[in-house]
Amino acid sequence: MGQTTIKDVARRAGVSFQTVSLVLNHPQKVARTTRETIETAMRDLDFVPSLAARSLRKKPSRSIACVFPLAPEPAADAFRAHAEAEHGHVLQTFGTVTDEQGYTLVHRCRRGDDPDGLSRIASLVSEARVDGLAVFAEGRDDPLIGLLQAKRCPFVVFGLDVPGTHFAARAERDAVHGAVRHLIAAGSRSICLLAGDGRCPPAVTERFRGYRDALAEAGLPLRDDLVVPCDGTSAGGYRAARALLERPEIGAGSRPDAVVAASDRAAFGVLKALHEGGVRVPAEIRVVGFGNLTQAAYAVPSLTSVDVPTLDMVRFAFATLVELIEGTRAPDDLAQKLFPTRLVVRESSGAPPP
């Protein structure tokens, strides 16, 4: 990285090296478009200004970045999807934990696999703007992970167990396994799994494993028609539940007697659709959410949900990052933890009202 010179940058940007030097030392004297061209060239080449920055570069920034995926959708929808995802809560938790420890949190979005975007994220570390990264991976083969490994950036994967990386993830399989066992014990026999829409396929696979195993243990059949794709939004849960209600009451492809939703938000949509359809919850259909938002306790009926120890996960990820940054943990001494979840039983799956 350090071997790129300002002449390389000048060549790439199509300007003289004196202009590059001017951008480094007196950027306000350079026209904005020229400056931006040169800054882009610097980023493309992973250029770190040598004299000035080199000495600062080793000074810890005491900052870490959270890198979130943004759906490759039209802006307004992407905003909405980002807001609907549980990122807000995780982000705030990172914000408060980093703050508590005297660190600053940087928020970065990324859109899909855009290579430019990926290299800009890596350059946060090479430019010493942050000391390390918490990455919300989109899959186990996320190209950002390979890039960060190649560049030896300190990073921790959040929310997904990616082999060969440090990670803080949820025990997705056990979470759904426990929820389905609970529903079976309560008397449910045809349990629908709202299975995620493929944004994070490994988590969906893990949840499906928990679902399948719990059914098998109880000797219940695995019915393809009860594994229904659904995103984590309220609108998605609402639509999925409306479709379920159009099914016949009994026989092949019949409606389920329980639903495990992909998220609490989706579960709120399910509760709404069932309410509108005149279906009694839990008497006719039991409902379980995922995430245990504060609001789950105030839904009508209150929502049984999988509680995720977000604060513990964030603390673990942050502590690991600090160890990597300070060199007290070797990069190949992997810190990996699948955090157990806890099912909070409320009215929607049969707990008596308070």
Comparison of 84 and 206: residue with beta carbon closer to a copy of itself: 84
Q: Which two tokens stand for residue 244?
A: 């379920």
Q: Which of 3, 31, 59, 150 binds a copy of itself (CB under 8 A)?
A: 59
Residue with tokens 């990122």: 87
Comparison of 185 and 300: residue with beta carbon closer to a copy of itself: 300
Whether the CB-CB separation of 300 and 216 falls below 8 Å is answered with: no
Residues 282-301 that bind a copy of itself (CB under 8 A): 294-295, 297-300
Comparison of 99 and 113: residue with beta carbon closer to a copy of itself: 99
* CA 139 from centre of chain: 10
Q: Answer yes or no whether residue 245 interacts with a copy of itself by CB under 8 A.
A: no
Residue 319 falls in which region: left (phi positive, over 0), alpha (psi -120 to 50) or beta: alpha
Comparison of 179 and 296: residue with beta carbon closer to a copy of itself: 296
Q: Answer yes or no whether residue 204 interacts with a copy of itself by CB under 8 A.
A: no
Q: Answer yes or no whether residue 24 interacts with a copy of itself by CB under 8 A.
A: yes
In 3D, which of 309, 310, 289 has the Cα closest to residue 298? 289
| Distance of closest approach, residue 347 Cβ to a copy of itself, in angstroms | 10
In 3D, which of 280, 296, 265 has the Cα closest to residue 350? 280
Q: Which stretch binds a copy of itself (CB under 8 A): 98-106, 132-140, 197-205, 216-224?
A: 98-106
Q: Which stretch binds a copy of itself (CB under 8 A): 45-53, 154-162, 191-199, 282-290?
A: 45-53
* DSSP letter, residue 165: S
Q: Answer yes or no whether residue 189 interacts with a copy of itself by CB under 8 A.
A: no
Q: Which stretch binds a copy of itself (CB under 8 A): 8-16, 213-221, 267-275, 316-324?
A: 267-275
Q: Answer yes or no whether residue 129 interacts with a copy of itself by CB under 8 A.
A: yes
Q: Answer yes or no whether residue 89 interacts with a copy of itself by CB under 8 A.
A: yes
CA distance 91 to 245: 36
* DSSP letter, residue 125: H
Distance (Å) of CA 49 to CA 57, 85, 343: 10, 38, 52
Backbone angles phi, psi at 96, to 5 degrees: -75, -35
CA distance 117 to 65: 14
Q: Which of 2, 60, 72, 112 binds a copy of itself (CB under 8 A)?
A: 60
